[in-house]
Amino acid sequence: MSPERGTPEVRRWLAEPLPRDVERALERLARAEDVARIAVLPDVHLASGVCIGTVVATRTLLYPDAVGGDIGCGMAALRFELDATALADAGVAARLLRGLADAVPAIRHPRATARERLPSCLGDSPLSDATLEKLKSRDGRVEFATLGRGNHFVELQADEQGWLWLMLHSGSRAMGQAIRAAHLRRARASSIGLPYLDAATAEGQAYLADLSWACAYAERSREAMARRVAEVIHAVLDAGDDPASWIACHHNHVRRETHLGEELWVHRKGAVPAGEGVPGIIPGSMGSPSFHTLGRGCPGALASSSHGAGRALSRGEAFRNISAGELAREMQGVWFDRRLAARLRDEAPSAYKDIGRVLRAQRDLTRVVRRLRPLLSYKGG
């Protein structure tokens, strides 16, 4: 028997009125069994199953669609011992873009050189079925420490003091998607059609174990990519990094947490943990500022914040309405591979919400500690 439905508390932090399709999706989610609390963040936008920018708390049930397929997707940041004006030179920028493309492939490493890329802590940890194990030994190895496409990026930025920073956004690649799909096949359908697993069952525990593996995969992958970016910076600019400056967070997961005196399964889909004093990273777009933050631990938001600006246009709408020339105009002052402009139209700054408005809407969720402006953006296209 699934738990009885109640009326969940729904709290909202909005930068603008909700589109009707997002409103309907949230109303539907609130009718799902065992949903106790929902927090809607200012970067919310429509996605399959559960909107991105939503936090869902349950007591006993797990909803894989409230995490999404890119399990463990998140951010990392690292400061270099270098004045950011070093990137003012076009020749330097071109060498960096070439170096990043070689060091951090978008899709996969050549199989001949990828045999030992998966760390033993991941390779030796079993997944819940043979199909996932086979995928781990195949795609998991060649995709580890690769960036992915869409909104995943390597960006070099300048802080207000003029220091050079790396910001990196990536996830669990094919592994997270496969883990989600495998467990959705074992799930039951709720009254609204949203599949769920009971955390107390063997199926629920298997999902949690595989999800934990995918989060570790994504985190280790970001660390490996950051090391390779640091090698490129050292080779091109002869600069080292400051290990103490490292910041990391992820924004697609479910975990057991206590809020308002109750133990809950907190699902975050495009939401950063923002407990009191917890560091966070909130990017804008490839042409707008990004921010390092500290959480304020807001109980009503389930100690969470937005994970970025959030899309203003769907990818299809952006491709239909934004030209390659418009993207280039919006990216004035930021180095990027202009040969990819036609393929990056869905990532144009105008396809995203205003990051300033998003941050103002969540002033009681996070405190900004650092503002960074983009200098160079590398994406897979």
Tell me, what's the pLDDT at 111?
62
DSSP 179: H
Distance CA 285, CA 281 (A): 13
Q: Mean of the per-residue pLDDT values for the chain?
A: 95
Q: What 3-state DSSP class applies to 64?
A: helix
Which of the four pLDDT bands, split at 50, 70 and 90, describes residue 115? very low
Portion of the chain with pLDDT greater than 70, in percent: 97
| Longest distance between any two alpha carbons in the chain, whole Å | 65
pTM of the model: 0.95
256-296 tens-digit pLDDT? 999 999 999 999 999 999 999 999 999 999 999 999 999 99
Strands (E) located in the chain: 9-12, 35-45, 52-58, 61-62, 74-83, 153-159, 163-170, 188-189, 195-198, 241-250, 252-259, 262-269, 271-273, 279-282, 290-295, 304-306, 366-378
Element (H, E) at 92: helix 90-103
User: Each residue of 252-268: b (16+ CB within 10 Å) or e?
Assistant: bbbeebebeeeebbbbb
CB 128 within 8 A of CB 205: no
The residues that are catalytic are 307
AA letter at 255: R
Tell me, what's the pLDDT at 1?
35
Closest among 260, 361, 258, 379 to 306, alpha carbons compared: 361
Q: Which domains does the chain have, with CATH numbers?
A: 9-312+352-378 (3.90.1860.10)
Range of weakest confidence among 34-38, 155-159, 321-325, 377-381: 377-381
Give me the mean pLDDT over the 29-39 stretch: 97
Tell me, what's the pLDDT at 236?
97
Rg (CA), the chain: 20
Structure tokens of 258? 């206590």
CB 307 within 8 A of CB 272: yes
Tell me, what's the pLDDT at 7?
85
323-353 tens-digit pLDDT? 999 999 999 999 999 999 999 999 999 999 9
CB 366 within 8 A of CB 280: yes
Give me the mean pLDDT over the 367-372 stretch: 98
Question: Does residue 365 have a pLDDT over 90?
Answer: yes
Question: Does residue 131 have a pLDDT over 90?
Answer: yes
AA letter at 215: C
Distance CA 140, CA 224 (A): 14
Tell me, what's the pLDDT at 5?
54
AA letter at 257: E
Question: Does residue 87 have a pLDDT over 60?
Answer: yes
Residue 40 C-alpha from the chain's centroid: 17
Tell me, what's the pLDDT at 113?
57
Tell me, what's the pLDDT at 108?
86
